[in-house]
Amino acid sequence: MNESEDINQSLRNVREFARNLRSLFVGRERQVEMMMVSAIAQEPLLFVGPPGTGKSELITQFRSLIKLPDEEYFEYTLTKFTEPGEILGPLDLNKMKQGEFFRKTEGKLPQAKLAFLDEVFKANSAILNTLLSILNERKFYQDGRPVAVPLKILFAATNNIPVQSELEALKDRFVFKVKVNPVPEELWDDLLLKGIGNDVSRYFKQSRFVQDVASLNDFLVLYKTLQNSFRAYLEEGEDPYFAQSEYLEFKRIIKHIKHEYELGVSDRKLIKIYKMLRARALFVRGGAVEREDFQILTHLGNDSEEVEFLEKTLPEILA
């Protein structure tokens, strides 16, 4: 199988993976799509919603379907009392006796390829500073020296996004924050059926599907595809997957968000938005960005109020 066939096969696998994941939930199509886009782009994704709306279940089922070994997955619910050792690993006492500050990271976040952090904004400052390095630079410090981490996909969840200045940097790391609302009453029958089905399959340790369709490697293949296309863009000076007309429209929308709505879009976030738009275009059609891809910009809010505001208002701009 040549490289082009590998890419097409991985696209088929990831799309089937998304269909399987959607089938386990009611009214979570947008959330599943954003999980796929974020996983392809290797950018963290934040779910925002009240307790009991299935934020954790979405991520748990993603992990179950991708069949990742236990040692490559890490999840934790953070509180203000969470100690760094619970996330990063305990201190290596033997090395401390030698005057070295190392942590035993086996089974902890620095060795995970897929991670889920619940109530991520409740972490204390010691953990927040480390998270910033892991999320943005994919590195972790051992005895003052940076060590690369294997993290590829990170999902996080919160009931609401607090408005606190010390959290601004962490909030900016999550380019998109996706709202998860309760299932409407008219869909309760489907909700009960699928919820009970998920419980039964978990109890009996049975898959809801005949065969596994995607692995982490499929997402890595698509990430490499994305990076190769960006390299071609840099060499040629023009992105063949982002037509000039769409590019101008993209800039118009971002300017509107910044100046008319007065919502913050940092330089770092602007770059990542571009990357995520290209990732969605790759996932949906395997090619160029189209106007419909801009719908993911409705998730650009920086706090709970902005998330709600953009979900209601931005479709008017897109229309």
Contact 59, 184 (CB under 8 A): no
**Which residues contact residue 205 at a Cβ distance below 8 angstroms, ignoring those fewer than 6 apart?**
none
pLDDT of residue 25: 94
- Residue 1's pLDDT is 60
**Domain boundaries along the sequence of the chain:** 3-203, 219-318
Say what the pTM is: 0.93
State residue 249's pLDDT score.
Answer: 93
Q: For residue 121, give the nearest of 62, 177, 71, 183 by alpha carbon.
A: 177
Evaluate whether 222 touches 14 at the Cβ level (below 8 Å): yes
* pLDDT tens, position by position, 82-104: 998 999 999 888 888 888 888 99
Alpha-carbon distance of 35 to 62, in angstroms, equals 9
Provide the pLDDT for residue 124: 85
| pLDDT beneath 70: ranges in the chain | 1, 210
**Alpha carbon separation from 27 to 32, 100, 180, 194, 271 (Å, rounded):** 10, 51, 10, 11, 30
What CATH number does domain 3-203 carry, 1.10.357.10, 3.20.20.70, 3.20.20.10, 3.40.50.300? 3.40.50.300
